[in-house]
Amino acid sequence: MKDESSGPSPIWEFLGLEVELISPGKAEGTMTVTEKHFSAAPRMHGGLVFVVFDTVMGRAVHSLVDSDIATIDLHQRFLRMVGPGLLRVTAEVFHPGRRVMQIRGEAYESRGKLAATATGSFIILGTPPHTDLPRA
């Protein structure tokens, strides 16, 4: 199911990013990497991979809460370069705390090989959230 909760932002449009909610706490994003996404070398700029992780992870968290959220920590590890073609990023909340949710993600390059991993923490702003997942 396509995520229409907040509509695409300008960065989504620049990236050509589409995000789908897979199930509560899980999301997937896809985009086609082109030369406009490259750094000085012929590969996707690492900062843009970071933006995709942050966006897809945020959507996974938003699938569990109706409150505003903010990224408070995000670590990214590269395993191989991301060249032109399809990029697929998955994200899953693995620890849905009352105020801070822990999440992990994986990025796959066009040949389907794991290109990067990420872990992050998102804080829930405002009223404590309601979720169907058991709380830690």
> Where are the domains positioned within the chain?
10-124
Question: pLDDT band for position 134 (50/70/90)?
Answer: low
Rounded to the nearest integer, the mean pLDDT of the chain is 89
**What does each C-alpha distance from 41 to 4, 13, 85, 120 come to in angstroms?**
34, 23, 15, 27
The domain over range 10-124 is classified in CATH as 3.10.129.10? yes
Give the pLDDT score at 4. Answer: 44
pTM of the prediction?
A: 0.86
Mean pLDDT of 65-84: 95
Gap between the Cα atoms of 120 and 38, Å rounded: 24
